A and B are shown apart, each in its own frame.
Chain A
Amino acid sequence: MSAQITPPLPIPLLPVPLLSVKDIHKTYGGRIGCTDVSFDLYPGEVMGIVGESGSGKSTLLNCMAGHIPTDSGQVLFDTRDRGLIDTLTMSEPERRMLARTDWAFVHQHARDGLRMSVSAGGNVGERLMAVGARHYGDIRAQAVDWLGRVEIDEDRMDDRPSAFSGGMQQRLQIARNLVTGPRLVFMDEPTGGLDVSVQARLLDLLRGLVREMGLSAIIVTHDLAVVRLLADRLMVMKSGHVVETGLTDQVLDDPQHAYTQLLVSSVLQV
């Protein structure tokens, strides 16, 4: 009998958020990067952050992920051992451990998230080794499994990512990030710069993985079609401020704020 995939169970409405962001404020000199950002993300939820270039969405994502220092605010994460902890005041080793285990970050440019001089299999295996895996056979088997899930043929496993197309690099980056079974994934324009057919494939893949693994994710994008497909809820940003939040289809079909109305009506109809 073939292995069966257990269908995802309905996500119970848990009272404890996985991530609780409070009053994030970040300035670049005198300019506002993002300010007054607060929200809770619950297990299994996918939130999209949309807005035009310069609206502060990537700044916010990088603040939350600890990639750039935040001026003030808290990013509380429900850690496995100690419950809700502010990750901004965590010690550096603790945060690095979190970034390798429960967190994942998918960069817009795959080369920022991959090691270009290491084979595809090595890229996936490296993250496993970072959390303590040592058995070569197991690591290789898991790498094969994950490359398969992101539709990369096993015979490309020993090739370097530099020999891959843009879409394949992006899928490899996703495999590398998800192999350790993170609970929260940050994604920065995961489909940016890919042509539409590759985008559709990647989106379908992400959608399946998010559902199957019960992941929570925060996706930054300027592509409204991407969030309609992937996100449960939306946050709309303009000039560093959150101007509107809500259920994805509600924000897109019945936008309340002037800027969201402009954004939604600016999309070209295909």
Chain B
Amino acid sequence: MIHLENVSKSFTLHNQGAAVIPVMAGATFDVAPGECVALIGNSGAGKSTLMRMIYGNYLSQSGRIMVGDVDVATAEPREIIALRRATLGYVSQFLRVVPRVPTVEVVAEPLLSVGTPKEVAFERARDLLARLNIPETLWSLSPTTFSGGEQQRVNIARGFAHTYPAMLLDEPTASLDATNRETVLTLIEEAKARGAAIIGIFHDAPARARVADREIDVSDFTPAKVV
């Protein structure tokens, strides 16, 4: 489902004397449907960078990043938008909220955008919010004012609303209490069971051991430091 081949990335800081910082080289791996792969490596090894490259948020300098039949590394913006809408989900660590939109709509939106009927989408959104223990009194409010933990759970509910065939999870269990952590791990297992290809970053080692089938050490793709 996801296939990376010789992917590389460098940052050019034009405003700091055009310093070129190579951060990734030769990244090559596959993720099959129904498989969960954990990215590991020290802080700064490039786990989040790699994830953002797969999502098309960061530009790749070379190589191929196939998600389904789209090469994210070379795709047009509209192809990436279509891919993100239907195929590729991304649960980041932070919820980017649009002012004034009620929580239940924030969660239902990914479903609405793929044409799911409104009632079905809202039903699924309410179900996810309930499973993630967001009090029902908050569902009609904008998540802008929620606590950090609540926002993160809303973000997870939103990420799992649509059944994406490929998913990227950036620390989905960070700073969750035991009950909610359990719910999130169950959601991941459900996604795997329905055949989603998942790439995750889990600092929580027991969680990683439970859901990940394989580990990929991102520091293997870190280019040698040029001094």
Contacts and interface: CB of A to CB of B under 8 A. Distances in A.
A11 B82 contact: yes
Given A4-B118, A262-B15, A247 B77 contact: yes
Nearest to B55: A249
A45 B78 contact: yes
A204 B98 contact: yes
Given A7-B112, A200-B99, A200-B100, A265 B15 contact: yes
Given A7-B115, A249-B57, A258-B14, A204 B82 contact: no
B113 A253 contact: no
B220 interface: no
Q: Chain B interface: which size bin?
A: 20 to 34
Nearest to B118: A7
A254 B77 CA distance: 14
Interface string A209-252: 00100000000000000000100110000000000001111100
A261 B15 contact: yes
A253 B57 contact: yes
Contact of A5 (B18, B57, B99, B118): B118
A108 to B, nearest CB: 21
Interface size class of A (residues with CB under 8 A): 20 to 34
Contacts of B15: 258, 261-262, 265
Contact of B57 (A8, A203, A250): A250
B79 interface: yes
A250 B112 CA distance: 24
Contacts of B200: none
A9 interface: yes
B101 interface: yes
Interface in A29-62: 42, 45
Contact of B58 (A9, A233, A253): A253
A73 B82 CA distance: 30
Interface string B8-28: 000111110010000000000
Contacts of A5: 118
A13 B56 contact: no
A10 B85 contact: yes
A213 B165 CA distance: 28
A257 interface: yes
A159 to B, nearest CB: 25
B174 to A, nearest CB: 20
A203 B58 CA distance: 26
30 contacts: A4-B118, A7-B112, A7-B113, A7-B115, A7-B116, A7-B117, A10-B85, A10-B86, A10-B113, A13-B78, A13-B79, A42-B78, A45-B78, A200-B100, A201-B100, A204-B99, A229-B98, A232-B78, A232-B81, A233-B77, A233-B78, A247-B77, A247-B81, A250-B57, A250-B58, A250-B77, A253-B58, A256-B59, A258-B15, A265-B15
Give 7 closest A-B pairs by Cβ, nearest first.
Answer: A258-B14, A200-B99, A233-B77, A247-B77, A254-B58, A9-B115, A7-B112
